Amino acid sequence: MQMDWTKQKRSEDKQVNKMYYKPHFGPEETQEIIAKMRADESKKTEWQYNSLKNQLQEQTDDANARRDRETYMDGERLKDTLMI
């Protein structure tokens, strides 16, 4: 996901860099530009939140699977010990 986001960001940056900017001192921010900046920031924040949430869920799933595997193997080892 990060690679796709970076690729998209680079293509957007290239497109913005090719645009003509009239020389002036300070930013020229219209309501449209401000709305786009807010939308971009919102998308970025949402993407980061979803990525972190997915990472935490994967870590939890891995930990649960490891614990289940360990419990199963402990039971198998106890059975083997009882047979000896």
- Cα first-last separation, the chain: 52
Overall pTM surpassing 0.75 (yes/no): no
Do 1 and 47 touch, CB atoms closer than 8 A? yes
Which ranges of the chain would DSSP assign to H, the alpha helix? 2-18, 31-83
Q: What are the boundaries of each domain within the chain?
A: 51-84
The residues, ordered by sequence, that sit 6+ positions from 54 with a Cβ below 8 Å of its Cβ are: none
Please name which of 53, 50, 59, 35 lies closest in space to residue 5, comparing C-alpha atoms: 50
* Dist CA 43 CA 20 (whole Å): 26
Mean pLDDT, the chain, integer: 87
Please name which of 47, 62, 56 lies closest in space to residue 1, comparing C-alpha atoms: 47
Tens of pLDDT, residues 16-56 = 777 666 666 666 778 888 899 999 999 999 999 999 999 99
